[in-house]
Amino acid sequence: MIDIVLVKEIIEQHISDTELFLVEMTISESNVINIVLDSETNVSIGDCISLSKSIENKLDREVEDYELQVSSSGVGQPLRLARQFGKNVERTVEVLDNKGIKHSGTLKNYNDESVGVEITRNIKLEGKKRKEAVTSIETFRLDEIKSVVVVPDLGRKK
């Protein structure tokens, strides 16, 4: 099996001094190397190709055969790292809690233990006949969350 530490070193060396960062890297028992990158701005196909070539130049297929997959953290992929949360503050997110309930709102803050999401809900207030929109920041502990996904802005008017 290919040495995971060696592959991580190759990746870190390649992406140092760039806006790219490693989100996830796995190596299966059958030597399928799967790498997911993200960036403070965007990850181009050229970035993925460049990293792939760098890895291929430093690993010897004659010694150990492998399959290499390099991709970016795409639309609909859950946020995993603090850097991903940080770059998505003020964007619309969907939080799926451990009970299977989805909560949509604007990501306002995050830390090592929780995320704060501004959510507007229609609530029947005491003394009122109709429900009214009430906005509040709800805090979700990370251990209460299955996933947090950025909702793509498709140019909808707010």
pLDDT, residue 32, reads 96
76 in Cβ contact with 70 (< 8 Å)? no
Fold of domain 4-72: GMP Synthetase; Chain A, domain 3 (3.30.300)
Fold of domain 82-150: SH3 type barrels. (2.30.30)
Task: Give residue-wise pLDDT tens across range 3-61.
Answer: 999 999 999 999 999 999 999 999 999 999 999 999 988 899 999 999 999 999 999 88
**E strands in 1-113:** 20-27, 32-39, 67-72, 92-97, 102-110
Residue 158 scores a pLDDT above 60: no
Q: What is the rounded CA–CA span in Å between residue 117 and residue 135? A: 10
- pTM of the shown model: 0.80
Q: Do domains 4-72 and 82-150 have the same CATH topology?
A: no
Closest CA to 72 of 92, 106, 33, 46: 46
Residue 116 has phi, psi (to 5 degrees) of -110, 125
How would residue 156 be classed by pLDDT, with cut points 50, 70 and 90? low
How would residue 104 be classed by pLDDT, with cut points 50, 70 and 90? very high
- For the chain, the structural domain boundaries read 4-72, 82-150
Who wins on pLDDT, 124 or 93?
93
